[in-house]
A and B are shown apart, each in its own frame.
Chain A
Amino acid sequence: MHPFADLSAYLDGALPDERRAEVGRHLAGCEICSARLAELRGTARLIAGLPDVRPSRSLVPRVSVPVWMAPLRTLSAIASGAAVLAFAASTLLASASLTSTGTPAVAAPAAAPQASLDRARGAGGAAASTAAPGPAGPQDASSPSAQFSAASPAPAPSANRSVAESDREKRLDTSTTAPPVVAEKGPTGPEAVALSVPARPQLGPSPWLWLLVAVAFAVLAFVLQRRLRTS
């Protein structure tokens, strides 16, 4: 009986030793089986010689991060952080300028020298200070309201102040009975602050600038993240 079913396995060296020897002995004396074995060998060679094919693109999934992309990831994280910080700064600045609305930018500094001036003078006229708060009160109360009404034009408050000051100088020069008292300056300060006008230039750039910076960093972080994801 011809060992046809084992010829492929024989060809591939996949038969157990004993069976392999048997088939080998048969092949030595059987032309038909030898011819068929040769055909199978020829077929296997043709299959092995099929033209090679290549994919149209790389099929290797990119599971590693390229060298140049490692700093990109860090940069993206930094940009995200910077965006948050800049946004927080813009919010803080915006709220700070909101709570101080009505105070002229110069109001606080203006009040301070005035107060020290008054303190210095108050020392001189301490005896008379308690005597007449009357005129001083109205005068000081009118000062902030005047400042508030003239608040929008920037130079106005300082002009106003100088007017008020020179006014006061005059009164002092004429040795009036009512030198301003230190205690009276207390209410003026906070009141002035509460009524202050927008931005304080000494706090740095406007909130809008910070917001712009925040948006710029956010966009940068977003773009970097996208780039990282697609690669």
Chain B
Amino acid sequence: MREASDTLLDRARKGDARAFEDLAREVERPLFRLALRMLGQSADAEDVVQDALLAAWRSLGSFEGTSFRAWIFRIATNRALDRLRARRRRPESPLDPPLGDDDVIWSEPSAPGPELVDIAGDREALVVVETALATLPAEQRASLLLRDVEGFAYEEIALITTAEIGTVKSRIHRARLAVRNALVAKGWQGPAG
């Protein structure tokens, strides 16, 4: 699979349009699921992915890295973040609040009561996770999705999001903790509960 992709990448770099289309088909769905969770709207996500793939084809000649996947995710992530900034109409304002040193709060599980909805199974838990992700600061959300859904290493996420590795580490931790807190707030008892 990996070797096949490398061959495709070599051919695409030499201008083989079909090889590029095959490569693009491999990443199309992963890119879309990231873009959708970043933007929340299917039409916007589709536009971003299509634009990113087209931009990748146009600048494939200048791509010198080894990981096409990381490279195309970088293009798509940047475009999704740009679109979020445009939505805010204040392009210069940062998407995320500056990170403090270690001010992350671990919320304690609430005492189970009659009004508290217990999360019986994964299905309900997944709804909570989706909702919690949607409320995360954009760059934290991108980093967490790139890690937990797409399986990128921290170094790759640093490249994709153009951030220091320490920043990536911090973003992932905060984001994951926020989702954990949202789950706990709904009565989640942890993986065994």
- A residues neighboring B (CB under 8 Å): 4-5, 7-9, 12, 14, 35-36, 38-65
Known: A45-B191, A46-B126. A54 touches B32 (CB 8 A): yes
Closest 4 pairs (CB-CB, A-B): A42-B191, A64-B17, A8-B173, A47-B148
Identify B173's interface contact among A7, A35, A51, CB under 8 A. Answer: A7
Q: A8 and B190 in contact (CB under 8 A), knowing A14-B154, A58-B28, A62-B21?
A: no
The residue that A14 contacts in the complex, of B125, B153, B180, B190, with Cβ under 8 A, is B153
> Do B190 and A60 have beta carbons less than 8 Å apart?
no
CB 8 Å contact bits of B36-78 with A (1 = contact, 0 = none): 1100001001100110011001000000000000000000000
Residues of chain B at the chain A interface (Cβ within 8 Å) = 17-18, 20-21, 24-25, 28-29, 31-33, 36-37, 42, 45-46, 49-50, 53-54, 57, 102, 104, 106, 122, 125-126, 129-130, 133, 144-145, 147-149, 153-154, 169-170, 172-173, 176-177, 179-180, 183-184, 190-192
Query: Is B144 a contact partner of A63 (Cβ separation < 8 A)?
Result: no
A-B contact count (CB 8 A): 120
**A-B contacts besides A59-B28, A59-B31, 13 pairs, CB < 8 Å:** A4-B106, A36-B106, A43-B129, A47-B145, A50-B149, A53-B32, A53-B36, A59-B50, A61-B54, A63-B17, A63-B20, A63-B57, A64-B17
* Distance between Cα atoms of A7 and B173 in the complex (Å): 8
- Bound form: Cα–Cα A49–B4 in Å: 27
Nearest residue (CB) in B for A57 is B46
Contact of A59 among B37, B46, B129, B179 (CB under 8 A): B46
Q: Nearest residue in B to A32 (C-beta to C-beta)?
A: B106
**Which of B25, B32, B130, B154 is close to A9, meaning CB atoms less than 8 Å apart?**
B154
| Option from B29, B106, B133, B170 in Cβ contact (under 8 Å) with A54 | B29
Whether A40 touches B180, Cβ cut-off 8 Å, given contacts A47-B133, A61-B54, A63-B17, is yes
